[in-house]
Every structure is written in structure tokens, then in C-alpha cells.
């Protein structure tokens, strides 16, 4: 396992972590400058932040600052209720894909969607099996577009508490089933479809260690599967607070909660992941109320000590 | 599948559902009277409510009203940090077991516990694997005591959002793995160790249908397991609201959320369950603010129409 104690070469900042300071938006250009000034080498920006700053301007700034991306957030939300909404979803995902290419992202992260209308508080239907079918079809369609652009797609399984409204792919096993069905890449080949493992979403899973090994391409023992491609495209960290007071925006700084982050990182690295450890924290009551630079400094310190 | 539309013969009320009215405690004797007055045939009371009313008095009232129990809430919380807390846990579980026997419960429901100290906001450690080991050992110990009293134990897997503080058994598959390891009862024999399937906790699980079939004693196909005992000891219903505003106390009345309750009940009954459908709702902002009788009337109406 890599030693993070002495530097932050492998720290990436998901820009949602500092999307606000004192409750007000912190613009992406300032976030990128503040990251570069601290020797942070990579970020993972969100589409709305990029749109506000301008795509070309963001690409130019990233290049000037020599900042890499550890991912691009995000495509997905594949579920729909009619032909028009299905087409709108696909058009939007194509735009996300093209933006990821322009920015030189290593992958487009997919939050796959769930029951249509749930995010607005009014579901069109309750059929989660149908939602899962639509998600599989949506990913299959997008994968062809992504292959043509050589842009890997990273399915991010979300915590089961988001199954109704954000993502109906809720375990690493479920995400890997999709990967293997849609992209049967053998060992040694680059996966066109992989996973983003976010500690917050998967830490509770009793099968986590074996499924991480499977994601890395190893046999998972139980299934008799042979070795396949390494599908570990991204690794996100934050922490689970006790108590957690909000389902979405009460995530913790690494070290402030109960997730054994070094153990998880050990599993991910043993499975072949050697990329960035991306800090992604949505925290309305704590970190979005602080000065942005202070949050970045804390991320650096915690990356070295707690991840 | 049984037709619930015309009567509520198979409705049970988990008494936490009406533990408060207008935010003030509603005493168990009054709850039991109100249930019986409505032709409700079964309840599942909580230990603190029974303690407040008196164990013998509660047993006598249940008998006088001809009310059955669909379960007794609850044993468990097996994790510990030292010999003294380990012994205290075991003593308390023995008391819960004896109370369940006195009340004539069909099973003692187990909420197994998680990281020690988490419920108080300060964890003693973060090792969820250790917590799971202690839970397995605690259930194994209690099972011997329960067998001697002929009282079945029902492991209730809780939603993964409770993995830190309430229960580190978070899927039906994980609960059934424990059951089969500790109580290898063959088909046709009564299980000493089974599960309580609560729709709120398991609805999101992509493996739910196959794991319910497995709980009923059927082979789950993938594993090659043969038929075993029917371990479906209890079936709880409430609903997942969108949005959900609190991790613990914002559960919905059946019909107000996104869970396909009739589909789940169909799976449970197809697997051999023929017992009560127990309504268990923790709802600080809605149902605990109403008059208790109104809540019971709503449970009856929703049981007939939405479960």
C-alpha cells in the first residue's frame, strides 16, 4: 500500500467538497487556483461548476495549472417515463461525454438514476425493477458512444438510502454484474466500463472485500469467475458520521467518522488500483460553512493521516 | 396471495407506531384497548412499553383481550467492549427472552447491534468486522438459551444506513448466512433461528426476491443450497418517503412512499409465510403527532388497500 503520510501526490479534490464557502458558491476557477497553489495535482469537477466557468476556459486553466482530472461528475440519471424524456437523457449524457473528452478526464462517473420523479418528491411509478432495466439499457447505449470516444465509464454504486431517488445500483456486486454483462473485457485489457468505489456508499457491505477483489479482475472465489479486466476506475473517500443528520449533505471529513478508510484503500490497492484518492464531501452544516482554503488544507492533512 | 381488501384479520400493530400521540407517550394498556376495540387481532410490543405497564399486567390484558403477538421487540445489541459489557448484554437478552415467553410471543426479534458507542455518538472502535464476529457469537449463545425455552429468534436485517449504530447485519443474505450456520434446520422442521423481513430495510436489495425464496426454505438457485426450514418468522411493513428527512424517525404509512408492498408480500407469501403483516412506523413529524385512534384507523385502511 502506498505511503500517503509524507506527501499528497495522490490526493484529488472533488470540487463539490468546496463548492460553497460560508454557504455561498465558490467559483471553479478560484477552486482550481487554490488547489494548484497547495500542490494538489488532481481534481474531479462537476458539470454545473464547469458550465458556470465555461468549458473551454476550464480546459485551458487545467492545462495551465498542470492539474489532472481523477474523473468527471457526472453522467447517468438514465430512467425515463416517455420517449421525449428518454431522448433528453441520452442527449444530456452525450454532452457529458464530450465535456469529459474536452477536459481530458480519465472517466465519466455515472450516477445511474432511480425512480423517475423521485428527486422532485413525486414518483411516476414505484417499479424499481423497471428502473434497473432502463439503467442497464441506458448504460449499454452510452457505452457504444463512449467506446467511440475512448472515454471509460465508471458506474458509481450509491448507498441503498439513495435507491429511490438517485441511483438504483446500490452495491458493488450489482455494478460489476452490469460491467461484466456489457463489457466482457478480459484480463490485461483496459475496461471500457468500470466502477467508482466511494467509501461512503459501500463501507457497510459485508461482501466489500471480495467484491473489490473482483473489481480488480481477480476471481471472487464464490462465483468461479476467472480473471477479468481491472475495473477500478476511481476511489472516493469521505466519512460516515454518527449521528448522520441528513441523508445527502452530512458527509464527514476523513477521520471524523467510522469508516476504516486505510483498510478500504488497502483492499483497493491490493486489487490493482494505483490512482488518485479523491476526497468528495457534501457537508452543509460543517465544511460548506468554512473558508475554502481551510477545507483544502484539512483535506491535505487528513489525506496524509487518515486515508 | 391472501386477499386483505375485505378484512384486517392479518393486520398486526407494532406498538412503536402509536407510541406517541401529539408528541406525548400513549401508554401500552390504552394502545391494546384501542387495538382490540377495532378488531385488530395482534400486536408487537416494545420492551420499554411493557416495562412501563408491567409484564404480568400486560400478559393478563393481552389474554383478556384475546390479542396475539406477532413478535416481541427486541433483543440483540450484542456488541461489547469488555467482559462487563458483554455480560450485561447477555443478562439483558435473557430477560428479553423470558419476557417474550411470558407474553406468548411467536419470536423474539433481534436488532443485532453495531459499533459499540455509536448510538451515543462516540464509537469505541471502527472495526465492523469485529462487530459482526461478536454478533455471530452473541446470537449463537442466545440461541442455546432460546432453544431451551422453545422461543424462536428472528434476526432483523436493518437498512445499511444503520450499519454504524444499530445493526451490522444489513441484508437478508447476511442474516440467512447466520441462520444456516448456527441453526442448520432441515425442510419441514421449525427453525429456531429465522428472520424478520421488514420492507423498509430490504426493499432496495437487488437480490430481495431470491433471498426471500431462500428464507422460505427454497433453494436460491445460485448457491446450490437445498431446501431448508422456513425461516420467515415476521413480516413488517411501512413505506420509504421521498424525500426522507430523518434517518430513523421519518418512515411512511403504507401507500405514502415508494415501496411496492403488495409485490413484496407476494414474494413472502409465495415463500410460505402465512402470518401477520405488522405495521411498524417511526414517524416523528407525521404519525406521532396525531391522535392514536386515527393512526390505528389509517393502518387498517392502508392494510386493506396498500399492503
Q: What is the pLDDT of residue A227?
A: 79
**Is there a contact between B242 and A206 if contact means CB atoms under 8 Å apart?**
no
Q: Provide the whole-model pTM.
A: 0.97
Q: How confident is the model at residue B117 (pLDDT cuts 50, 70, 90)?
A: very high
* Cβ within 8 Å, pair B204-A170: yes
Residue to mutate among B122, B173, B204, with most A CBs inside 10 A, is: B204
Considering only CB atoms, which chain B residues are within 8 Å of A244? Answer: 161, 247
Q: What is the mean pLDDT of chain B?
A: 96
- Residue B258 and residue A126: Cβ atoms within 8 Å? yes
Query: pLDDT averaged over chain A?
Result: 96
pLDDT at position B219 over 70? no
Q: What is the pLDDT of residue A25?
A: 97
B138 to chain A, minimum CA–CA distance in Å?
Answer: 18
- The pLDDT value recorded for residue A188 is 87
Most A-contacting residue of B113, B118, B124, B126 (CB-CB within 10 A), to test interface: B126
Domains in chain B, ordered, with CATH? 11-306 (3.20.20.150)
pLDDT at A226: 66
Please give, rounded to a whole number of angstroms, the shortest distance from the CA of B221 to a CA of chain A: 13
pLDDT of the residue at A219: 63
The pLDDT score that the predictor gives to residue B44 is 98
Q: What is the pLDDT of residue B232?
A: 98
Contact residues of A toward B, CB < 8 A = 115, 118-119, 121-123, 126-128, 132, 159-161, 163-165, 168, 170-171, 174, 203-206, 240, 242-245, 247, 257-260
Best mutation site among A206, A221, A240 for testing chain B: the one with the most B CBs within 10 Å? A206
Structure confidence by residue, pLDDT tens digits, B153-190:
999 999 999 999 999 999 999 999 999 999 998 888 99
Report pLDDT digits (tens) over A130-144: 999 999 999 999 999
Could you give the percent of chain A with pLDDT greater than 90? 94
Q: How far, in Å, are A167, A276, B194, B206, B264 from residue B209 at the CA level?
A: 19, 37, 17, 8, 8
A160/A173 Cα distance (integer angstroms): 13
List, for residues A210-247, the tens digit of each pLDDT value. 999 999 998 645 555 667 899 999 999 999 999 999 99
How large is the average pLDDT for residues B296-304? 98
Mean pLDDT of the region A185-194: 92
d(CA B307, CA B11): 10
Give pLDDT, residue B224.
55
Measure Cα distances from A169 to A5, A37, A115, B120 in Å.
Answer: 34, 37, 12, 31
Judge if the upstream peptide bond of residue B243 is cis by omega within 30 degrees of 0.
yes
Amino acid at each position: 500500500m502506498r505511503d500517503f503520510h509524507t506527501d499528497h501526490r495522490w490526493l484529488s479534490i472533488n470540487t463539490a467538497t468546496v463548492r460553497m464557502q460560508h454557504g455561498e458558491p465558490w467559483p471553479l476557477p478560484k477552486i482550481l487556483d487554490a488547489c494548484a497553489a497547495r500542490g494538489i495535482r488532481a481534481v474531479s469537477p462537476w458539470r454545473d461548476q464547469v458550465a458556470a466557468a465555461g468549458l473551454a476556459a476550464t480546459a485551458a486553466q487545467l492545462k495551465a495549472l498542470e492539474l489532472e482530472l481523477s474523473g468527471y461528475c457526472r453522467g447517468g440519471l438514465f430512467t425515463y417515463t416517455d420517449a421525449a424524456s428518454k431522448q433528453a437523457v441520452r442527449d444530456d449524457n452525450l454532452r457529458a461525454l464530450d465535456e469529459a473528452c474536452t477536459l481530458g478526464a480519465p472517466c465519466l462517473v455515472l450516477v445511474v438514476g432511480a425512480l423517475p420523479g423521485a428527486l422532485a418528491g413525486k414518483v411516476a411509478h414505484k417499479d424499481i425493477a423497471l428502473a434497473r432495466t432502463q439503467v442497464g439499457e441506458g448504460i449499454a447505449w452510452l457505452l457504444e458512444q463512449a467506446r467511440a470516444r475512448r472515454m471509460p465509464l465508471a458506474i458509481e454504486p450509491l448507498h441503498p438510502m439513495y435507491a429511490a431517488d438517485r441511483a438504483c445500483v446500490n452495491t458493488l456486486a450489482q455494478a460489476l454484474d452490469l460491467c461484466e454483462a456489457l463489457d466482457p473485457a478480459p484480463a490485461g485489457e483496459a475496461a471500457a466500463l468500470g466502477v467508482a468505489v466511494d467509501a461512503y456508499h459501500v463501507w457497510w457491505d459485508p461482501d466489500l472485500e471480495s467484491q473489490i477483489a473482483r473489481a480488480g479482475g481477480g476471481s471472487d472465489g464464490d462465483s468461479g469467475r476467472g480473471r477479468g479486466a481491472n475495473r477500478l476506475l476511481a476511489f472516493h473517500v469521505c466519512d460516515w458520521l454518527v449521528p448522520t443528520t441528513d441523508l445527502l449533505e452530512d458527509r464527514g471529513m476523513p477521520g471524523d467518522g467510522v469508516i476504516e478508510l486505510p483498510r478500504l484503500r488497502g483492499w483497493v490497492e491490493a486489487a490493482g488500483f494505483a490512482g488518485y484518492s479523491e476526497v468528495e464531501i457534501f457537508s452543509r452544516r460543517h465544511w460548506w460553512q468554512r473558508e475554502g482554503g481551510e477545507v483544502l488544507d484539512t483535506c491535505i492533512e487528513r489525506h496524509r493521516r487518515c486515508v
